Amino acid sequence: MKAVLIQEISAQKPLTELLCLKDVPLPEINEDEILISVKCCAVCHTELDEISGRAQPAYLPMIPGHQIVGKVEKAGARCRIFRQGDWAAAGWIFSSCCCCNYCLNNHENLCPEFKATGKDAWGGYAEYFKIKEQFALKIIPPEEFTPEEIAPLLCAGAIGFRSISLSEIEDGMNIGLFGFGASNHLVLKTLQAIFPKLKVFVFSRSKDERALALKLNAYWCGEIEEEPPELLDRAIDTTPAWTPVISALKNIKPAGKVVVNAIRKEPRFRKELLQISYEEHFWKEKKIQSVANITRKDMQSFLEIAFNKKIKPEFTVYKLEDAAVALQEIIERKIRGAKVLAI
């Protein structure tokens, strides 16, 4: 099968040298696994964290990609959920142990044995992908959704939904979104669908992202360090930097909360932390919390809401062989919504 492989880890070399399109053997499935013929796989900033070594793959070469939509090509002998021809989706959660305290208490995202798709096991930048059937989602795509519109919902959307849940948002609040790429533009649409009285304030360095936010009816848009016209109750940060977190802490009300939805912060931004003042940014019971991984329930719940409320991503389609181009555009902040590889 054709697949895009991460061959080498480097923060300096160009992506075209680190990623390559190759023919690799078709994965062989165990009795409890399904083989999915991948229709499309969305692109995530996490792939850049893997390639640069900030979130290193378990082994090389690695096939990245964790927002996968396709059809079951083959189901193992013990599979009971899926049959050949069913639509299947897979996200960042590839497996967990299913028996530790975290797994047994709805926190499989924190399982010490958590394995990530496209990082600890081969992912979806390929023609085929295999996973245990219990960790795949059975989907019935609504007529008005194409596979390309579903794929970005699986990480960008679902982890955005997890950030919303962790933010403890109530209708009528002021919400700040820092960064406005694949995830936060879906957070905006989700917030608008669930909480009609919210005011959403979007902070972004990119003119394109700010234009998209205004098109999507954000209440206010500004630069990362700009002072919004009203204080915020909650903020969700999806950037690789620290200045946005500091700006969020400065602009939230007492007892407000900042949720950081990023797998890693880039080391080159570490010095920005020196701007922190306890008095200005933390005093008055302000809180900060990270979002780690995802549960199957997050993906399931978010897909239900998205299908129901017709929450669709803004997206651009690329060919599998252009994966490096799509990722380079994320580095250069040519974003405007999500990017999807059609396979």
50 to each of 46, 250, 301, how far by Cα in Å?
Answer: 6, 31, 27
Please tell me the distance from the alpha carbon of residue 185 to that of residue 156, in angstroms, as a whole number.
Answer: 9
- Interface characters, 26-45, with Zn ion (x: CB under 5 A): ------------------x-
Of 215-234, which residues contact Zn ion (CB under 5 A)?
none
Q: Which residue, 146, 141, 128, 184, is CA-closest to 338?
A: 184
Residue 61: cis peptide before it, omega within 30 degrees of 0: yes
Of 183, 184, 226, residue with least CA distance to 175: 184
Extended beta strands in 7-146, E state? 19-23, 33-43, 68-75, 87-90, 93-95, 115-116, 128-132, 137-138
Q: Verify binding: residue 186, Zn ion, rule CB under 5 A.
A: no
Tell me how many residues contact Zn ion (CB under 5 A). Answer: 8
Q: Tell me how far apart the alpha carbons of residues 53 and 207 are, in angstroms, rounded to a whole number.
A: 29
CB of 282 to Zn ion, least distance (A): 29
Q: How far is Cα 192 from Cα 195, in angstroms, rounded to an integer?
A: 6
Of 111-119, 122-130, 224-232, 315-323: span binding Zn ion (CB under 5 A): 111-119
In this chain, which of 90, 103, 151, 246 binds Zn ion, going by CB under 5 A?
Answer: 103
Given 20, 81, 100, 292, the residue binding Zn ion (CB under 5 A) = 100
User: Is 97 near Zn ion (CB under 5 A)?
Assistant: yes
Identify which range of 25-33, 97-105, 284-292, 311-319 contacts Zn ion by CB under 5 A.
Answer: 97-105
The residue within the footprint of Zn ion, chosen from 155, 158, 249, 299 (CB under 5 A), is 155
Question: Binding marks (x or -) toward Zn ion, 261..300, rule CB under 5 A?
Answer: ----------------------------------------
- In the complex, the residues that contact Zn ion under the rule CB under 5 A are 44, 46, 96-97, 100, 103, 111, 155
